[in-house]
Amino acid sequence: MEHVALKKRFFSLTNHSIQLLGLGILSPVLLAAGHAQGTQGVENTEQQDSAIEEVVVWGQESSRTGGLSHPGSLLNQQDLVSINVATTEDVVKYEPSLVIRRRFIGDSNGTMGVRGSNMFQTSRSMVFADGVPLHYLLQSRWNGAPRWTMVSASEIAQVEVLYGPYSAEFSGNAMGGVVLIESAIPQEREYHFDSSYFSQSFDAYGFDGTVNGYKSFFSYGDKFGDLSVYASYNHLENDSQPQTFYFGGNSNDPTATPVNGGIEGNDERSNARLWFGDTGVVNTTTDNYKLKLGYDFGEWQSLLNIAYEDRLGASTSPNTYLRDSSGNPVYSGNVVQDGWAINLPAGRLGVSEQERDSLSLGLRLRGPLSENVNFEANVNQFAVLRDQSRSSLRNPADPAWTADGQVNDFGDTGWQSAEAKLTFSELGLPGLALVTGARYEAYELNMDVYNSPDYDSATFGAYTSRSGGETEIAAAFAQFEWIMNEQWDMSLGGRYERFQSKNGYYSDDNAATATFDLVQVPGNTDSAFSPKFSVGYQPTSQWRLAYSLGKAYRFPIVEELFSQYQAYNSVSVANPGLNPENGLHQNLMIQRDIPGGSVRVNLFTETIKDVIESQSESLPGGLSVRTFIPLDETETHGAEFILNANQFLVSNLDLRFNMVYTDSEIVCNEPDPSIEGNVYPRLPQWRGNLLATYHINNRWDAGLNYQYASDSFGRADNTDREDEVYGAQDGFSRVGLKSTYRFDQGIALGLGIDNLTNETSFVAHPWPGRTVYANVSYDF
């Protein structure tokens, strides 16, 4: 993403703030954020005047309000200069209290955790791009990652992160937070091209090698009178380090084959294991096609957003570490090495491919009904056109190889949503505004698992398992915003939601019947009301204090309720009786403006009952068993320190620094009191990020980035205490560098490196090793 700060690509936050203020809904917090993040010093501004100009973003006059005192963070393109950006996740991964578990560039499982919601509680965060939902509220854990690839990093003009469920406009899925991505509206004919090459070295267990990849992006934009046109194509191809390492289960076979090459070592719970292989290099290819059409009808605006994703992931070269006495690789069976007698399941070192095609449609309409009343409507549909995984029963190099395998296939799967809202900028009292509206969402998930006589051609044989179901949520919301005077403001709102689950089923076949038997699962209906409140006080022009309180209910998703299946490498056990998660969230903000920016401290607490905990257990041989088990109550206390400033201490140095302390505890769990008092999984006590950019001159930038996290637990029983092994939840300290030089004629070149020290660390799966980047971009 090398077009940062180039002509037509710079977003003017000041202008954005003025236009929002005209609608009567601008948050003072946003104004403070704008001062900290969108304002350059005089000298630096003068240097860059010849290279940048204002752009307009699709969401510039949105009627959305996050609440006057909603804690948040705002990013524009200048803030990204020091980040090695390959995919959209990179844009937000340095924001306060936010973690992205992207295991490699091109990973489809780039899950996001915010504040007290860990990276596998994917249905506790929301992502929108130009008003279109990217969050995937059908599945959880690694399968529930937002569909980041439906928007390309190179098209992003602005990102806003809202923390917590303090706005009535968002459902309880905002317990962690909301990411709002906006792209630019073309104002004249423009073309943009950028390409990046990346190379990673990785060494762990029985793998030691280098993997490479690249990304290329092209876009065209123009404006014909009232019609804006934007079209883009993004291609990404990359090889990753092995993602899974396998250890064997005990075997008592007296005829076991003697082998060597296995690696002895502990697992995350300090159990001694013999590791026999890994998944090998995983190749991913993703193509994204985007078309956006905007049309102005007088003061009214419309936007049609069409995105298509074609994705292929292939693991075709699993590694076995074991060799028999003749030096031949061993892929399956009972083996013995140095007293270790283990079993290698035939399917663990098999090959696999996943093909996924998705289509996203979004339509936004907004405009004034009167001088003080604005209307906005959003309609979205997301369809999984194809999502199919094919796995072989054995490795092709295994002497017992056949074409037999298994196919996982998603049928009718996707979601629809529709929302309409009104914004009243004046309600009879000076400074009093209201946003109110309604929203409807419907989700459907269907998954079939087949045995296949020819897995590579996806030939369907007999069913192994089937499951699926549907959920619906209808909501109405209203939120008042009152700026009482220059010092005080207040927000009061609420959201009513009605939830329904239906048409659930799973397979329980009776071999004596001719058909494949399905069990119908009873549906459920529930409702909840979530009040919201905040108050802000500004004693001087430099200081601001704000308190926010929000109730939130996060209803269970289809997978948690109905997804029950068994495949070669995984078993899922659903729970149709789950209650909604019930959260009470509080935030106290203290902010001080400083020259060029601001310093902010947030103190927050989250108390959540009926926590839907998805626990996964890795069994010997590589089988993964997943369950959805509710915990009675968890509690999180946190403190954030955030410093954002331009020209910090020395001229031309821009700085974004944040550090968060989080104490998250399982406080009550009557079914299993032994875990009460334990640390909640995947939430490190300390996390920190740094972005430092030095503008050497108006053409040349040099940047430093840094990410830190202390170690954590992956299990509710806190028994996984081993570090630097597969399956562990390691802490990490990763340093990166980035430098970009801008030539004449819109050309820019960049070089960068992530994980400079080549640190080896695991967050269950391995983080990438040292990765180098080379980038080129051209605007014309």
**Please, are residues 475 and 439 in contact by the beta-carbon 8 Å criterion?**
yes
The label of the residue with tokens 């690694």 reads 142
* Nearest residue to 347 via CA among 282, 400, 271: 400
Sign of torsion over alpha carbons 526, 177, 151, 228: positive
Query: What is the Cα–Cα distance from 733 to 710, expressed in whole angstroms?
Result: 9
Query: What is the Cα–Cα distance from 739 to 409, expressed in whole angstroms?
Result: 44
SS3 615: strand
Average pLDDT over the chain, rounded to an integer: 88
Query: What is the Cα–Cα distance from 150 to 372, expressed in whole angstroms?
Result: 35
Q: Count the Cβ atoms, other than its own, within 10 Å of residue 440.
A: 15
Residue 695 has pLDDT above 70, yes or no: yes
Query: What is the Cα–Cα distance from 374 to 256, expressed in whole angstroms?
Result: 75
pTM above 0.75, yes or no: yes
pLDDT at residue 724, as a whole number: 94
Task: Kindly report, residue by residue over 247-299, the tens digit of the pLDDT.
Answer: 988 888 888 999 999 999 999 999 999 999 999 999 999 999 999 999 999 99
Query: What is the Cα–Cα distance from 385 to 355, expressed in whole angstroms?
Result: 10
The label of the residue with tokens 């980041």 reads 148
Radius of gyration of the chain (CA): 26
Write out the two tokens for 709. Answer: 């996290």
Tell me how far the alpha carbon of residue 631 is from its chain's centroid: 24
Write out the two tokens for 293. Answer: 């059409």
pLDDT at residue 617, as a whole number: 63
Identify the DSSP state of 169: T
pLDDT at residue 35, as a whole number: 33
Write out the two tokens for 168. Answer: 């009535």
**Please, are residues 542 and 503 in contact by the beta-carbon 8 Å criterion?**
no
Host H or E run for residue 558: helix 558-562
Query: What is the Cα–Cα distance from 234 to 280, expressed in whole angstroms?
Result: 26
Write out the two tokens for 612. Answer: 């839907």
**Please, are residues 686 and 660 in contact by the beta-carbon 8 Å criterion?**
yes
For residues 532, 679, 728, 335, the Cα torsion angle rounded to the nearest 10 degrees is -120
Question: Which residues does 515 contact at the CB level (< 8 Å), separation at least 6?
Answer: none
Task: Kindly report, residue by residue over 82-141, the tens digit of the pLDDT.
Answer: 999 999 999 999 999 999 999 999 999 999 999 999 999 999 999 999 999 999 999 988
**Please, are residues 751 and 773 in contact by the beta-carbon 8 Å criterion?**
yes
Apex 484 CA angle, 483 and 490, nearest 5: 60
Percent of the chain at pLDDT > 90 equals 78
Q: Count the Cβ atoms, other than its own, within 10 Å of residue 500.
A: 16
Write out the two tokens for 316. Answer: 């075709």
Percent of the chain at pLDDT > 70 equals 89
**DSSP codes of every residue in 619-678:** PTTS-EEEEEEEEEEEEEEEEEEEEEESS-SSTTEEEEEEEEEEEEEEEE-TT-GGGTTP
Tell me how far the alpha carbon of residue 143 is from its chain's centroid: 11
Any bridge partners for residue 653, and if so which?
694
- C-alpha distances in Å from residue 213, one per residue of 14, 104, 239, 505: 38, 11, 6, 41
Phi and psi angles of residue 462, each rounded to the nearest 5 degrees, phi first: -75, 150
Residue 637 has pLDDT above 80, yes or no: yes
Question: Which residues does 75 contact at the CB level (< 8 Å), separation at least 6?
Answer: 37, 91, 92, 95, 158, 159, 160, 161
Segment 697-717 shows an average pLDDT of 95
Task: Kindly report, residue by residue over 209-232, the tens digit of the pLDDT.
Answer: 999 999 999 999 999 999 999 999
Query: What is the Cα–Cα distance from 107 to 112, expressed in whole angstroms?
Result: 13
Q: Count the Cβ atoms, other than its own, within 10 Å of residue 255.
A: 7
pLDDT at residue 569, as a whole number: 63
Segment 404-410 shows an average pLDDT of 93
**Please, are residues 274 and 621 in contact by the beta-carbon 8 Å criterion?**
no
Phi and psi angles of residue 532, each rounded to the nearest 5 degrees, phi first: -135, 145
Of residues 26 and 243, more confidently modeled: 243
Angle of helix 13-22 relative to helix 28-37, nearest 10 degrees, comes to 170
Task: Kindly report, residue by residue over 355-383, the tens digit of the pLDDT.
Answer: 999 999 999 999 999 999 999 999 999 99
pLDDT at residue 56, as a whole number: 77
- Of the pLDDT bands very low, low, confident and very high (cuts 50, 70, 90), residue 574 is confident
pLDDT at residue 616, as a whole number: 65
pLDDT at residue 630, as a whole number: 86
- C-alpha distances in Å from residue 657, one per residue of 316, 406, 692: 41, 48, 8
The label of the residue with tokens 């037999």 reads 404
Residue 23 has pLDDT above 70, yes or no: no
Task: Kindly report, residue by residue over 710-756, the tens digit of the pLDDT.
Answer: 999 999 999 999 999 999 999 999 999 999 999 998 999 999 999 99
SS3 477: strand
Segment 5-28 shows an average pLDDT of 30
Residue 474 has pLDDT above 50, yes or no: yes
The label of the residue with tokens 């003072």 reads 28
Segment 677-706 shows an average pLDDT of 96
The label of the residue with tokens 């419309």 reads 302
Residue 608 has pLDDT above 60, yes or no: yes
**Please, are residues 223 and 188 in contact by the beta-carbon 8 Å criterion?**
yes
Tell me how far the alpha carbon of residue 215 is from its chain's centroid: 20
Identify the DSSP state of 697: S
Query: What is the Cα–Cα distance from 448 to 443, expressed in whole angstroms?
Result: 17
**Please, are residues 126 and 178 in contact by the beta-carbon 8 Å criterion?**
yes
Q: No. of H helices and E strands in the chain?
A: 5, 45
* Nearest residue to 82 via CA among 776, 771, 753, 777: 753
- Of the pLDDT bands very low, low, confident and very high (cuts 50, 70, 90), residue 508 is confident
Tell me how far the alpha carbon of residue 646 is from its chain's centroid: 28
pLDDT at residue 223, as a whole number: 95
pLDDT at residue 51, as a whole number: 40
Phi and psi angles of residue 264, each rounded to the nearest 5 degrees, phi first: -85, 135
pLDDT at residue 626, as a whole number: 67
Write out the two tokens for 588. Answer: 């106290």
Question: Which residues does 582 contact at the CB level (< 8 Å), separation at least 6?
Answer: 553, 608, 609, 610
Query: What is the Cα–Cα distance from 690 to 42, expressed in whole angstroms?
Result: 24
Host H or E run for residue 89: helix 89-92
Query: What is the Cα–Cα distance from 240 to 363, expressed in whole angstroms?
Result: 36
Q: Count the Cβ atoms, other than its own, within 10 Å of residue 710.
A: 16
- Of the pLDDT bands very low, low, confident and very high (cuts 50, 70, 90), residue 572 is confident
**Please, are residues 449 and 408 in contact by the beta-carbon 8 Å criterion?**
yes
Identify the DSSP state of 260: B
**Please, are residues 116 and 125 in contact by the beta-carbon 8 Å criterion?**
no
Question: Which residues does 472 contact at the CB level (< 8 Å), separation at least 6?
Answer: 440, 441, 442, 443, 499, 500, 502
Write out the two tokens for 180. Answer: 């709002």
* Nearest residue to 441 via CA among 494, 382, 503: 382
SS3 34: helix
Task: Kindly report, residue by residue over 177-201, the tens digit of the pLDDT.
Answer: 999 999 988 999 999 999 999 999 9
pLDDT at residue 624, as a whole number: 64
Phi and psi angles of residue 124, each rounded to the nearest 5 degrees, phi first: -105, 15
pLDDT at residue 185, as a whole number: 87
